Structure 1
Amino acid sequence: MAKYPTLLEQFRSFCFQNNANDLEEAIRYFSVFGGMGWSVDLSRPLDELIEEKILKNYRYIHGDIAKITQSNQTHHALLSAIAIGDRREHSAFRRADVTRAEGEASINFLIDNGLLIRDKSQDQPVDEKEVVSDKLFFIAPFMRFWFSSISPYYKGIKEGNFTEVKERWSHLQHEFTDLIYEQLVRELIKKSFTEDRVEKIGSYWDKNSEIEILARTKSGKIIAGSCKYSKSKANKSELTKLKEKCSDAQIHADIFVIFSKNGFSSEFKKEKGEGLKLFTLKHLRVLMEDLGPKDLLVNTNKKY
């Protein structure tokens, strides 16, 4: 049994607690406030809520987080590095300017104290000598938001000057939900393969390439997938690129999965079948089905 709630459990709790109906809006607000158990009025502008609930309560929230991190500068530097970087452990060490020994000790502390979890590549790289660094997920989406967009700008925030943090968020927010979408797509894939259930799912990466979704079913079939978040519809080139990545990694996929937030070209839709599954935003609604009091997580965080 997992020690901490999964992202899907947190998402369903957030949606039930805040009466979410619009999936896209729910994900956008969840990427900022998820995992804290706070009530959020989804009818109000997100930027307005960030200022009211987070920026104006900075001192109190910072104090609560500092109790977990013990106000350790290495912990804070690494958390920010992971929040704004590629999530790879070793690149976070470089970005935070800490030694490997310091970094590993800090990461272990942050995992033990419920801020991070490891994300391991689902396969070994072609080059057996290559060392693949683990990646790291924040358990609570809010903590990723805090260490990417709030904590680095603490000086201005403490003085009541929110200009810098608002400018930073205006540039970051358009891609900020991508990671949440990728995690939820993993959950969608698990729900979609019912007859031959998914037993392992994650991502694949090495120093040259990355496959966003890589899974193995009970029967041993390999599923490889990619996610597209742009406003344009995905076409057959998305599948071509995915197949090339698999070829480079010497991964022989049985089924390809493409998630495109805004749908697919008519030509590409004709390609779907047993070996190609196409998912759009509407398919993620299955993750919000049958919400009820049973989904509400008990949360002891202070409410803001």
Structure 2
Amino acid sequence: MLLEQFRSFYFKNYPDDMEQLIEYFAIFGGLDVELDTSMHITELIRLHIFENFDVLSRQVERITYSDPINIRLLKALAVGDRRIFSAFKRAGLNNSNGGAALKYLQERGVVEVEYSRETHPRELQDTKVKRELARHRISDKVLFTQPYLRFWFYFISPYRKEIELGEYDNFFEAFNEKQNQYTSLVFEELSELLLNYNLRDAQILSSGSYWDMNMEIDILTLTDNGSIYVAECKWTNHKVNKKELNKLQDKCEKLDIAPTQIILFSKRGFSKELAGMAGKDLALYKASDFEALLKSR
């Protein structure tokens, strides 16, 4: 679904480059509008969201059934670590009402669950594990099915009353401060699509982010021939350097995995040192490489 939205967004709006495409898609993806991509993104928010605020608010109310529990959960999922149990806690919900809200939102096609691949500590040890480890709960994560809906609950909901009054200063202050952080998740999702596109001749057994009680890896992909691909994604305004490679290698050592290839995705490219290391064991992708996702296959 995300790939279809990404392609549709491009062929409707034809942004100047892939960096602009990803930034604009992270906000307007899934919202049926045509953008003048020569305009700054903040002006497009004013034009297409603030000037149509009543209509868009009613659409969100229909999606959420105007249920405050649904709204609280979506706000928690938008800004948190996406883990279900931590979202319940952030939203002040329990497993009962939180679970019911999550089920409803899944059925409405607002969110989808990304299942954990963590093995519980009890299954890793033959002997009795420590109490704190035994009590550890493996938590699945949640993804919004449309970038625009996550944008709404990430940025719009906290300032809704001010926006209704035409007061936008606090919204734009938060947006300017957190835009890169917000866009990172969409970039990560698109990076997984690009990785899997480049592995299209292999049979992918499992792919997605990996997390456990100690660490997270943006992308971990396994294929039927035993290959392991690990990746990190950096949507920042500076080039990625060797330090990020070292961090990912450390994570692999702690997980006791030997990756077939390490992949780094970067908004602004890579340092000369890191670029010189690219090869069979290390693949590097920058924003312009995402043009491959626009191909018909």
Q: Does residue 283 of the first structure (1) align with residue 278 of the second (2)? A: no
Q: Does residue 229 of the first structure (1) align with residue 235 of the second (2)? A: yes
Deviation of 1:181 after TM superposition, in Å, equals 0.8
Q: Secondary structure at the match of 1:177?
A: helix
Q: Does residue 117 of the first structure (1) align with residue 112 of the second (2)? A: yes
Q: Secondary structure at the match of 2:209?
A: strand
Structure 1 unaligned segments of length 5 or more: list them: 1-5, 292-304
Contact 1:221 1:253 in 2 (8 A): yes
Distance in 2 between the 1:93 and 1:138 partners? Answer: 16
Map of 1:54 onto structure 2: 49
Deviation of 1:197 after TM superposition, in Å, equals 4.2
Q: Secondary structure at the match of 2:112?
A: strand
Q: Does residue 150 of the first structure (1) align with residue 150 of the second (2)? A: no
Alignment counterpart, residue 19 of structure 1, candidates 11, 14, 17: 14
Map of 1:272 onto structure 2: 278
Superimposed CA distance per residue, residues 151-198 of structure 1 (whole angstroms, 9 cap, x where no aligned partner): 222211222222222222222213221111111110111111244343
Q: Does residue 38 of the first structure (1) align with residue 33 of the second (2)? A: yes
Distance in 1 between the 2:3 and 2:120 partners? Answer: 29
Map of 1:298 onto structure 2: none
Task: Quote the sequence identity (%).
Answer: 37
Contact 1:122 1:202 in 2 (8 A): no
Superimposed CA distance per residue, residues 87-121 of structure 1 (whole angstroms, 9 cap, x where no aligned partner): 11111111111112111110110011010011123
- Going from structure 1 to structure 2, the CA distance change for 1:203 and 1:125 (only over 3 Å counts) comes to farther
Distance in 2 between the 1:125 and 1:237 partners? Answer: 30
Map of 2:190 onto structure 1: 184
Mean Cα deviation higher: 190-199 or 240-249: 190-199
Map of 1:63 onto structure 2: 58
- Going from structure 1 to structure 2, the CA distance change for 1:45 and 1:195 (only over 3 Å counts) comes to same
Deviation of 1:55 after TM superposition, in Å, equals 1.6
Superimposed CA distance per residue, residues 244-272 of structure 1 (whole angstroms, 9 cap, x where no aligned partner): 11222333322211112222233323333
Contact 2:118 2:212 in 1 (8 A): no
Larger relative contact order, structure 1 or 2 (CA cutoff 8 Å, min sep 6): 1
Q: Does residue 80 of the first structure (1) align with residue 86 of the second (2)? A: no
Contact 1:260 1:280 in 2 (8 A): yes
Aligned ranges 1:179-218 → 2 under 5 Å: 179-218=185-224
- Going from structure 1 to structure 2, the CA distance change for 1:42 and 1:278 (only over 3 Å counts) comes to same
- Going from structure 1 to structure 2, the CA distance change for 1:16 and 1:215 (only over 3 Å counts) comes to same
Deviation of 1:123 after TM superposition, in Å, equals 4.2
TM-score, length-scaled by structure 2: 0.90
Deviation of 1:127 after TM superposition, in Å, equals 5.9
Distance in 2 between the 1:163 and 1:230 partners? Answer: 24
Structure 2 unaligned segments of length 5 or more: list them: 124-133
In angstroms, what is the RMSD of aligned CA positions?
A: 1.9
- Going from structure 1 to structure 2, the CA distance change for 1:148 and 1:194 (only over 3 Å counts) comes to closer
Matched length: 286
Contact 1:126 1:250 in 2 (8 A): no
Q: Secondary structure at the match of 1:44?
A: coil
- Going from structure 1 to structure 2, the CA distance change for 1:92 and 1:48 (only over 3 Å counts) comes to same
